[in-house]
Structure 1
Amino acid sequence: MDQITTSIETNWEDFLLLLKQVMQVPSVKAAPEPQAPYGIEARRVLSLVMDKCMSYGFQTKVIDDAIGYAQWGPESDEYIGVLGHLDVVPAGTGWDFPPFDLSENAGRFYGRGILDNKGPIISCLYGMKLLKELGYRPKKPIRIIFGTDEESGMSDISHYLAAEQPPVFGFTPDCKYPVVYGERGVVNVALHFPLPENEQQQIEAFQGDQFRDHVPDHLQVTIAGQAFESKGTRAPSNAPELGENAITILAASLANQLDTHTVMHAVFKWIWQSFHEKHFGEGIDLALSDADSGQLILTPVVLQKAEDGLMLEVAFRYPVSVPESEVLTRLRTRMPKAARVEVLRRMPGICQSKDSEEIRKLSDIYHMITGNNADPVTTTGATYARKMPNILAFGPSFPGQKGIAHNKNEYMDATDLRMNLEIYMRSIKALTE
């Protein structure tokens, strides 16, 4: 054991106490309040963390009550950045542990944010604190940056970049290992299906937990006085194959039970045949792939009654070599007659060189600690790396770990949490030497 591993062992319980305090704040985005653009709890967790950073002796700054940072090292605009977030998605239902707390059971920690992203970014902060206490002095300044709107659009980054220069290099601990050098393009579209007025009036509002971050697991609707219900399995929207989509299950049921002479029947049949268990575009001529990022992935995430008929939101994650225009053109050619496509959200893909010295340093540290293959990879996820220049994703999930972050009983094994703390501590040291 060297100084770093000894320091982690000695201070482990203090680290868990800090993490528990942060996780007990239910920092889900809410309506804006004075000096709280993303709601009171998001601002409260930022204040808590900033107070801790000041107590550790770091320079701190909060920008527009939206985002803050702790800086350590010499004064310079050329700094290393570590960028994470303190906001979390709603708890949802079905938990076996309190969602807004840190619970341990059989060597595993539970709580909303333990993986996404409070556990990892607090590991980075605490690792920087331990390095300071060990007497290390960085040759380059290092900033730990704490966002509070990552889960709902990343608008906090625009506040930061309006006031500060971006880092010269850095990482966000909000994805997976090893180093992630590319992120697929993301486009969310609303598919609008007009219905005759008499059919549209037969449909009541759809009920269920529907949001673009996950595969919906329950949906119900009443049509012409008859109740229909579907049950699926929740999963992150970037890994739909791990779940069962209540939207397409319901569409299949309705396609087999509604009057076949109605427009409504044709719409539900098209949704069923195009998307049910067809996660990679094969149902609508979008089975696209490339060597860097693999297959296109699509996920129906929201089904609603609209003013003139039905609206289905679908999230597409497409390979880095494919232009968004190709995705939309192919989709439009497969849409039913009279239906239309509306773009709701777009995030172009990013792809960086795999050969930089900084990526090599992070890869070497990851391999040294885990023994795992450290070749850089791409991801289906969307991280702050899309919004902040010179940032790439690095951790915290290890190979094979998927479908944990936005689910009930979000967890991280104690051994993995400890390993993350060591990886990030050594990474901060290596990047600032």
Structure 2
Amino acid sequence: MPLTASERRLVDSAASWFDANHERFVNELCDLIRYPSVADESDPSPKPAEPYGHEVRRVFDHMIGKAGRDGFPTHDYDGHVLEVAYPQDDVETGDDIAFVGHLDVVPAGPGWTHDAFEPRVIDGDTVIGRGSLDDKGVSLVNYSLLRFFNEQGHRFRHRVRVLFGGSEEPALNDIKWFVHNVGAPHQAIVTDGPFPVNNIQKGLLDVDVALPVGKRLRGWHAGSSANTIPAVASIDLVGTDADEVRQAVDHAGLDDDTRGRITITSSDDADDGGVTITAHGISGHASKPDGTINAIALLTSVLTKSGLLDGRDAEAAAAIAGWAGDPYGGALGFAFENTESGPTTGNLGIIMPGPEFGTDAEDHAVPSDAIVMHLDIRYAVGQKSEDILAAIRRHVEPLGGRLVNVLNDDPYYVPADDFRVELLTGAYNDVIAGMAPSTPPARPVAMGGGTHARFIPGALNFGPEFHTEYVPAVDGIVMDPPECITPGTGSAHGIDEWVSIRNLKAAFVMYALGLVRLDQYLDGGN
């Protein structure tokens, strides 16, 4: 719908307010990034209000202090989810509209050009740091909406609140706990994906596979996050001469780019000497493998081609090289694609020793002569998880492998003609039309990422990311990485993650318009 006169005033005032608070916003975002709030669910008996570790607790306390100074009521749900509410008691309905983000982040991982938790600000617009894009930048945008409307004296029909999750990245357990123990918001707007509206999310299938190996690969660790394509992978070959290893690698028939991504160093840790071989890939989010190089695939491929392994080790490495090197599941037999949701993806992102993994789903110990591979699979709407699992079994069982753990979340889907999807898509297009009138309208999109919306009934996904694969390019919106970001880096889960403040300003304006429209039309308003 075209902007009404009052909506035009709202859009203009929201943009002006953000500009006036630009410096404050950047400083507060940098404050959030400085918390290394990687969710840790490993403690079976966590401290009270610290279910996801001390760093998540600290960033929650930071937001509680901020809200208190700004006069906003808060509710801390035992460290799982933090609520900040709009200060209005006289609403027409007790139902709420909740903007949902998260304050936990994935691990930094190696390869950053600076400390991932000490943010850099470039030209007042680009902020580089872990969580800048996913999801602290937009979480601060959500909070800023409360400030803006409160200063405007705006009155809503619905209760309005902002929810901050503390453990979205590992398995969305924060919102699972919240919905089960507290209840779902009446209408949740999840801000953790692409514009305009993400109405389809692929199914999420986490699969752990135990694979028998020889002495070389026993004890091998690689990767740090299941939903991140690993940037670096290395292995120590004990009792091996560095010169012999270099000669084997140099004669393995590698192309120049591949050879340039391999480093070979003498290891001083082993009593009888040894060599560390390291592969340097290109990281990224597991759901977006284009342009990435899986370092686990790269390392096992080089080990295979150079003949540095034999027996079970050689057999396992060759298989892993193929499986990890095909991010669309073809090597494991589950490739699938359709127009509605795009291709299925599969990321082999973590490898660990069997004993470290512990026991399988039936409480049987994984043997010491095995490694466990973790597969992060995002499967298209219309594909069945049972078919994927059957295909994986067909490929790993001939090598003695077996599935030791499986977690499945079915695809998320909201029809594109749902009036709420149309309303928020319209808010996006109307703001963009004001910036660039000739821009073609954007349409709802599918993605492979998983957000809180999967576990909140009736939730919608609304931005904040601008990608040319989903929306037309627009002057004033930063679509491409700035020059300070090395090609192949900068993604949400990758090295040198970054966000544009201009883009967050545009999201802020769209959210302001979308919230007012939802508040007006939701539940039969007029």
TM-score, structure 1 as length reference: 0.91
Taking the TM superposition and a 5 Å limit, the aligned residue runs for 1:158-237 are: 158-195=176-213, 200-223=214-237, 225-226=239-240, 227=275, 228-237=277-286
Partner of 1:144: 162
Taking the aligned partners of 2:181 and 2:66, their CA distance within structure 1 comes to: 23
Return 405-414 or 368-377, whichever deviates more.
Answer: 368-377
Mark the CA change 1:229 to 1:25 in structure 2 (over 3 Å): closer, same or farther.
closer
How much has 1:283 moved relative to structure 2?
A: 2.0
2:192 is equivalent to residue 105 of structure 1: no
Point out where structure 2 has 5 or more consecutive residues left out of the alignment. 1-8, 241-274, 355-367, 434-438, 469-478, 481-489, 521-526
Taking the aligned partners of 1:378 and 1:322, their CA distance within structure 2 comes to: 15
Tell me, what secondary structure is at the counterpart of 2:293? coil
CA displacement 1:55-84 (0-9 Å, x = unmatched): 333332111122121222427542112111
How much has 1:102 moved relative to structure 2?
A: 4.2
Return 131-140 or 297-306, whichever deviates more.
Answer: 297-306
Displaced runs of 4+ in structure 1, greater than 6 A?
A: none
Partner of 2:110: 93
Tell me, what secondary structure is at the counterpart of 2:184? coil
Mark the CA change 1:56 to 1:414 in structure 2 (over 3 Å): closer, same or farther.
same
Partner of 2:472: none
2:495 is equivalent to residue 408 of structure 1: yes
How much has 1:336 moved relative to structure 2?
A: 4.5
Q: Which amino acid aligns with 1:376?
A: P
Taking the aligned partners of 1:127 and 1:193, their CA distance within structure 2 comes to: 50
Of 12, 27, 31, which aligns to 1:21? 31
Q: Which amino acid aligns with 1:232?
A: G
Partner of 2:364: none
Taking the TM superposition and a 5 Å limit, the aligned residue runs for 1:1-400 are: 2-30=12-40, 32-72=46-86, 73=88, 74=91, 76-106=93-123, 107-195=125-213, 200-223=214-237, 225-226=239-240, 227=275, 228-258=277-307, 262-276=311-325, 278-306=326-354, 307-337=368-398, 338-371=400-433, 373-400=441-468
Taking the aligned partners of 2:321 and 2:180, their CA distance within structure 1 comes to: 45
Q: Which amino acid aligns with 2:210?
A: H
Taking the aligned partners of 1:76 and 1:367, their CA distance within structure 2 comes to: 29
Mark the CA change 1:193 to 1:65 in structure 2 (over 3 Å): closer, same or farther.
closer
Mark the CA change 1:389 to 1:267 in structure 2 (over 3 Å): closer, same or farther.
same
In the alignment, is the contact (CA less than 8 A) between 1:124 and 1:425 conserved in 2? no
Return 43-52 or 374-383, whichever deviates more.
Answer: 43-52
Taking the aligned partners of 2:319 and 2:116, their CA distance within structure 1 comes to: 38
CA displacement 1:188-239 (0-9 Å, x = unmatched): 21222224xxxx3344532544321211122222346334432212222222
How much has 1:352 moved relative to structure 2?
A: 1.2
Q: Which amino acid aligns with 1:186?
A: L
Taking the aligned partners of 1:261 and 1:136, their CA distance within structure 2 comes to: 70
Mark the CA change 1:382 to 1:262 in structure 2 (over 3 Å): closer, same or farther.
same
2:438 is equivalent to residue 421 of structure 1: no
CA displacement 1:260-314 (0-9 Å, x = unmatched): 87233222222223442x2212223222112211111111112234313232222
Mark the CA change 1:20 to 1:324 in structure 2 (over 3 Å): closer, same or farther.
same
Computed over aligned residues only, the root mean square deviation of the Cα atoms, in angstroms, reads 2.3
Q: Which amino acid aligns with 1:362?
A: L
How much has 1:101 moved relative to structure 2?
A: 4.2
How high is the sequence identity, in percent, across the aligned residues? 24
Point out where structure 1 has 5 or more consecutive residues left out of the alignment. none
In the alignment, is the contact (CA less than 8 A) between 2:229 and 2:292 conserved in 1? yes
Highest CA radius of gyration, 1 or 2?
2
Return 294-303 or 29-38, whichever deviates more.
Answer: 29-38
Mark the CA change 1:411 to 1:318 in structure 2 (over 3 Å): closer, same or farther.
same
Taking the aligned partners of 1:184 and 1:253, their CA distance within structure 2 comes to: 32
Return 23-32 or 288-297, whichever deviates more.
Answer: 23-32
Tell me, what secondary structure is at the counterpart of 2:132? coil
Q: Which amino acid aligns with 2:112?
A: W
How much has 1:100 moved relative to structure 2?
A: 2.4
In the alignment, is the contact (CA less than 8 A) between 1:128 and 1:425 conserved in 2? no
- Count of aligned residue pairs for this structure pair: 428
